[in-house]
Amino acid sequence: METLLFTHEEIIARTDEDTVVLTTHRVRYAPSKSRITSFMLDTIVGIQLRYTSKMIFAWLSIAFLLTTVGGVLEGYRPAVVASAGMMILFLLLYIGSRKLTLKIVTAGLSMDIQLGSMRNEDILSFINHVEVARASLLLECQPLSSGKSLVDVVR
């Protein structure tokens, strides 16, 4: 998907499929043509790398664990076998549903980016690029009480 750029805006990093584009001003996530999320870098308050999963499978696995224990205590073998099988099935579904997700948070919204098979080095590089771009943007825009910007003071 084509990303229209602002004046003086440059692309810093992008995924192979252009689903995630980082520029000097924003992060844009477009997993499909009908779904686009874009944040300006100066609104980002945090980045989190985490695993997400479908918790319903974990809760169902726990429920069947309790059913299995109940069947063992009551001595009802058919219930134990069926419950244990269902418990294992839902546990495997839970493990299979785990996805590595990069969450970018602003004051009011968040963006969850499914990372799929990205390498750890590429993920860390993207996070570093976002943080450096955000810091650069904030340093350029932050006025000091003397009227100078932080960039002028650092030079």
pLDDT tens-digit profile of 111-126? 898 887 788 888 888 8
In this structure, what DSSP letter does residue 137 have?
H
- Mean pLDDT, rounded, for 35-53: 90
* Residue 95 scores a pLDDT above 80: yes
Structure tokens at 153: 């003071």
According to DSSP, the residues that pair with 102 across neighbouring strands are: 49, 113
Is the residue at 1 inside a domain? no
Number of folded domains that form the chain: 2
Is the residue at 2 inside a domain? no
Question: Do 18 and 90 reside in the same domain of the chain?
Answer: no
pLDDT in tens, 10-22: 888 887 777 888 8
Question: Do 16 and 77 reside in the same domain of the chain?
Answer: no
The more confident residue out of 145 and 74 is 74
Question: Do 62 and 45 reside in the same domain of the chain?
Answer: no
Is the residue at 109 inside a domain? yes
Characterise 28 by phi-psi region: left (phi > 0), alpha (psi -120 to 50), beta (else). beta
Question: Do 108 and 150 reside in the same domain of the chain?
Answer: yes
Question: Do 105 and 46 reside in the same domain of the chain?
Answer: yes
The more confident residue out of 83 and 148 is 83
- Mean pLDDT, rounded, for 29-50: 88
One-letter amino acid identity for 151? V
Is the residue at 4 inside a domain? no
Question: Do 136 and 73 reside in the same domain of the chain?
Answer: no
- Mean pLDDT, rounded, for 27-51: 88
Q: What is the pLDDT of residue 155?
A: 40
- DSSP 3-state percent helix, strand, coil across the chain (nearest 5): 45, 30, 25
Q: Domain containing 69: what range?
A: 55-96
Report the C-alpha gap between 123 and 115 in whole angstroms.
8
Question: Do 74 and 136 reside in the same domain of the chain?
Answer: no
